[in-house]
Structures are given as structure tokens and as C-alpha cells.
A = this chain, B = another copy of it.
Amino acid sequence: MDSPEKLLQTMKEALEQELQEQLKDLNISPYQLYHEMLAYHMGWVGEGAGPSATGKRIRPILLLLCTAASGGDWQQALPAAAAVEFVHNFSLIHDDIEDKSEYRRGRLTVWAKWGLSQGVNAGDALFTISHLAIHRLSKSYPPEIVLHASRLLLETCLRLTQGQYLDISFETQPEISLDDYLVMIEGKTAALFATCTHLGSLLGRCDPTCQNQFQQFGRSLGLAFQIIDDLLGIWGDESLIGKSTASDLVSGKKTYPVLLGLRSGGSFAKRWRQGNIQPEEVYDLAKSLEAEGIRAATQAEALRLTQQALAELSAAQPHGIAAEALYRLTNQMSRRIH
């Protein structure tokens, strides 16, 4: 591999193959439709299938890069990469049910297409498949390492459900603090990112200190990722159009910039407290929030976290082309908001 681009391309192809491999034995009678639901959600079949439906697979790629950057063979870590992507996708299927979202990436969600019951069950299936995937590490790693990896992923899933519990609870609370919000995204977003980089370095056979540095890097990157997502949920191109519920302002989500806006107590806060925001108000409200300095403050926090991530990555002393790819990926993330 002579360039980060080539490495990323090779990893993405190998990952997609590994993911499909995990599901292929399930495509048997009388379970073809069960298999189809999972393959549809993963973006492989059905209307709109293809790269725009699969998502960016950022979590598993992060894991593989950390394995390679710790001097390990990333191909051996592929089952773990598949596992974290399945965990992410299980949580998307259940999130869509919990948020009553009928569309994801322009396609019907599993529950909207096949009903609530099949949706809950399809999520349970992907959850199971993710943890079964970890067992495939046994081809290349001793039982102690496989058990360690399995435990890390399960502990992360517990954090995910704790974060999700808070997120659901926040919906019915009129106001929450910025601290409450940060605890929630630690569980809901940062924990899985931290586990990707932790697992990656564990499977690259790093020592515990180095694993800890990689884990810190993933946590900061995950927090930055979430705050950038929050920013795009208000000022992203799709959100500003105001045609649908693409804006977090319409769905009423208490995201980072919303909480900053409420704390600053300006005209945005007044409007928010009067009740549901309509799509036609979205453009002006986003502009007024920006005028109050909230967009800049959100950007600054995302940049601060990105810088922190870069410092932690550097402390982990990653090497080779994979290290280059990790630095680039981290920098690219904050570039989404400029």
C-alpha cells in the first residue's frame, strides 16, 4: 500500500465482503425475507441500494486503521470491524422505531417497510449477529483476546442503551443542561467510537497504555463527530431548506447548539419556549441563532475536540500509511463544517 487512499479503498472492499459473509448463511428457506430485511438495511438490496445507502462505514474503518497503525495485520481484525458496524446498524434500526423516523438516507426504514414488529426483531437479529461476528476473531487470535474484545463490545452496548435511555427521557423534559447532554452523547456516540479505536489497537497487539491512548482518541473523535452532526442538523444544506423534518429545529431535538441557544436566552430561546417550530421558520431561526454567535461557538467546540483527538492520536504513536490516513480522517471531519 503506497497511499492512504489505496489503503482505505482496499479496507472498504474487504469490510463490505466481511459484512456480507456474516449474513450469507442466513439466506435460506424459510428465512429469505428475514435475510432480505437485514440486507436491505445494510444497503445491499432493494430500492436505492448502493454506496449512498450503506453509509460511510466510518466506525469499522477507524477500527481497521487503528489495528494497522499499531503495527498489526488489519485483515485479522475484519470480524471486529464487521461487529462494530453491525452494532451501529442495530442501533439505527431501533432508533428509527424510537424516533418514528420513516426514512433514512432517502429510503424507507425497516419498520416503515415491514412493520414495527419485524423492525424490532430485525434490530435484535443484527445485534446478535454483531456479537457472533466477534467470535470469528478466533481464527487469528487466542481465546483471551477474543473474550476481551467480546467484553469491550458488550460494555459499549450497555453504554449505548444508557445513552439512549437518557435521549428518550430528554424528549419529555422541557429543558436539560449542557452537562446532561454531554453525558448522553458519551454513551450514545462517543462510547462506540472509543471502542472502535480501543479494539483496533487491542487487535494490533498494543500494550494497555497505548490501547488507552487510542481509546481516548476515539472518544474525542466521537464527541467531535456528534457536535458536527448537531451543527449540520441546523445549518447543513438539507436542514436549511426547511422542506421536511430534516432540520433538528423541527423535530425539537435538544442538540448542542439548541442548548447553547437556550442558555444564551436571546430571541431563539424565546421562540423555542413557545412550542413546536414549523418548517417555514427554520431558515430565519437558524440565521438568528447564528447571529447570536451559537454557530461559531459550536464550531469552536468541534474544533477543540478535533485538536484534542489529534493530540491523543499523536500520543499513541501510530505508524505507517494507516497513521497518515487516521490524521487525515480526523482533519477531514472538522472540514465538513467550513
Q: Enumerate chain A interface residues (CB-CB to B < 8 A).
A: 26, 30-31, 33-34, 94, 97-99, 115-118, 120-125, 127-129, 131-132, 135, 138, 142-144, 146-147, 150-151, 154-155, 157-158, 160-162, 164-166, 168-169, 180, 183
Contact = CB atoms under 8 A, between A and B. Distances in A.
Given A98-B117, A117-B98, A147-B147, A162 B31 contact: yes
Q: How many identical subunits does the complex contain?
A: 2
A142 B146 CA distance: 13
Contacts of A180: 30
A144 B117 CA distance: 36
A151 B127 contact: no
A150 B135 contact: yes
A135 B151 contact: yes
Given A151-B132, A165-B31, A98 B121 contact: yes
Given A147-B147, A169-B33, A97 B120 contact: yes
A136 to B, nearest CB: 10
Contacts of A121: 94, 98, 161, 164-165, 168
Contact of A144 (B26, B143, B165): B143
A169 B122 CA distance: 13
A196 to B, nearest CB: 17
B125 A98 contact: no
Contact of A157 (B128, B147, B154, B161): B128
A154 B169 contact: no
B34 A165 contact: yes
A131 B124 CA distance: 13
Contacts of A116: 97-98
Contact of A150 (B99, B150, B157): B150
Contacts of A94: 120-121, 124
Contacts of A118: 165, 168
